[in-house]
Amino acid sequence: LLLCVCASFLITCLHVYGSDELTVYIVHVKGSEDVTFSAAEQWSDWYCSLLNSAKDAANVADLRIVYSYRNVITGFCARLRQREVEAMSKLDWFLHAPSADFHSNPVAQGGFKAINKGVFVSCSAGNTGPNRGTVTNDAPWLLTVGASTTDRSFLSTVKLGDGQELDGESLSQPRDFESKMLPLVYPGHATGNENSSFCLSGSLDGVDVHGKIVVCDDGGNGKAEKDDVVKSAGGSGMIIVNSPDFAYSTLVEPHLLRTSNVPYADGLKIKAYINTTSAPTATIIFKGTVMHTPHSPAMASFSSRGPSQITPGILKPDITGPGVNILAAWTSAFEVFSGTSMSCPHLSGVAALIKKAHPDWSPAAIKSAIMTTAYATDNSRGPILDETPPGRLVRGRSWSRGPAEGHGPRTRLRPHAPRLHSLPLRPLRQQPCPSYSWRTSELLLREEHQRSRAELSFHIGQAAGDPFDAGQLHADSDQRQGAKVDVPGDG
């Protein structure tokens, strides 16, 4: 409690819906001058003590803290429930920061000015999926990029004693691992201790794992730490089971032990086999890098979803790109990373190639060309699937090939059919004023071909007249509906 009095918290809410739903928060900590640490472990311990001391959040820090910051910011990323945050927000040392509107968002503002100068801007959608409304960098003039899988897998198959074969992944592919059956144990069942299910430090004391393959749930600590814990306890191999949130998205890492990271649904099968077998056994078969994985690409479960929380009428992300287990350059040799920070550069490269081929195209034309020519099917010729909870692949919404609205002078572009329009935008001002009521209006866009209306929602003051439905727009015809908008200042 003494440490808590010395700190102020600023909680950035990335997504809030049901009170019992775990949601990702970034907690910014303003520490006392008396609190200084040199090691990352000391910072992590301090953050755990702060979170555990908060009302209604006791004994959750070890399992809920996703990442501890100490360089760019002071704080941590944690999964919390809405009721827990509400309880903590009542304490006098907590501050709450809502999402910034476009006029006060530095990325939106900077991107807007860059596009005015003809500079194409692409941004990451964020890694806080799969809940709806978690997308970031959602200004309509930005290309917002989600993350999806590729058709390459680092395959490591778990073969159970009853003959079941369940495909997982691992960056480490040892060639000297004998594919013989070994005893299989899930410490979470053996001890009934939740810490043991995550293979936390000290949680395997008293559990006989020597010479066995140990099943560990993902979360609570890093995968490298699970390696150390299981190896120190005498384990010969490890199976990491995805959390329900990550479902089918397996993020590979190098391991000290022979390891397979399996999807959540397959983890349930492994645990069911252990529960119903007196002497469960398993082995891990390493198959190396496998290409042409079926149903690729698929939307990564962690990729942030739309719609925009600031303006729900904006459908975001705009497109998806390769963002799972991406082989990337690193300081020494190479590394494998996952996230929308991996997928966004792919689309930036595509934009650069288009700009080279068509130097006279505006950022809006490039964005439209990318969005309207992207594939909407996977390599199995079916709709792109979503690696999402509750642990099963579900049919996802295909990315639309319809028209995209950009920014700049009103022009008619033909990067690819159908024709696209770009709407003029005035410089951003602080609108709407906080004193005005927030209502939704619809902006109807003219189309050259008969099609269902296109609409864009934005916030204005009191609208004039009765609701108006344009129905369908026909070629070379306009339909207009007026609205009274009080614009502050000189706008």
pLDDT category at 434 given cuts 50, 70, 90 is very low
Pick the range with the lowest mean pLDDT from 3-17, 111-125, 169-183, 296-310. Answer: 3-17
Could you tell me which of 334, 415, 412, 406 has the C-alpha nearest to residue 374?
Answer: 415
- Burial of 473 from C-beta contacts in 10 A (0-12 / 13-18 / 19+): buried
Q: Who contacts 150 (Cβ-Cβ below 8 Å, separation ≥6)? A: 293, 296, 297, 322, 324, 325, 326
State the average pLDDT over residues 13-22: 48
Question: pTM, whole model, 2 decimals?
Answer: 0.65
State which of 12-26, 92-106, 184-198, 455-469 shows the largest mean pLDDT: 184-198
Beta pairing, strands 237-241 & 153-160: unpaired
In the chain, the amino acid numbered 236 is: S
Could you tell me which of 301, 243, 262, 309 has the C-alpha nearest to residue 79?
Answer: 243
Q: Who contacts 83 (Cβ-Cβ below 8 Å, separation ≥6)? A: 19, 20, 56
Give the pLDDT confidence score for residue 215 in this predicted structure: 95
In the chain, the amino acid numbered 1 is: L
Beta pairing, strands 258-262 & 237-241: parallel
Helix axes 363-373, 340-357, angle to 10 degrees: 110
Give the pLDDT confidence score for residue 289 in this predicted structure: 92
Q: Who contacts 485 (Cβ-Cβ below 8 Å, separation ≥6)? A: 460, 461
Superfamily of domain 102-150+297-395: Peptidase S8/S53 domain (3.40.50.200)
> Maximum CA pair distance of the chain?
79
pLDDT in tens, 293-337: 999 999 999 899 988 888 888 889 999 999 999 987 777 777 888
Q: Write out the residue limits of the CATH 3.40.50.200 domain(s) in the chain.
A: 102-150+297-395
Terminal-residue alpha carbon distance, the chain: 51
Give the pLDDT confidence score for residue 91 in this predicted structure: 61
pLDDT in tens, 262-283: 999 999 999 999 999 999 999 9
pLDDT in tens, 123-170: 999 988 887 888 999 999 999 999 999 999 999 999 999 999 999 999
Alpha-carbon span 243 to 227, nearest angstrom: 17
Give the pLDDT confidence score for residue 150 in this predicted structure: 94
Residue 383, both tokens: 């709709």
State which of 2-6, 42-46, 384-388, 423-427 shows the largest mean pLDDT: 384-388
Q: Write out the residue limits of the CATH 3.50.30.30 domain(s) in the chain.
A: 153-290
pLDDT category at 478 given cuts 50, 70, 90 is low
Q: Which residues of 431-464 are buried (b: 16+ CB within 10 A; e: fewer)?
A: bbeeeeeeeebbebeebeeeeeebebeebbbebe
Alpha-carbon span 41 to 58, nearest angstrom: 20
CATH ID of 153-290, from 3.50.30.30, 3.30.479.30, 3.30.200.20, 3.40.109.10: 3.50.30.30
Asked if the model's pLDDT at residue 419 lies above 80, the reply is: no
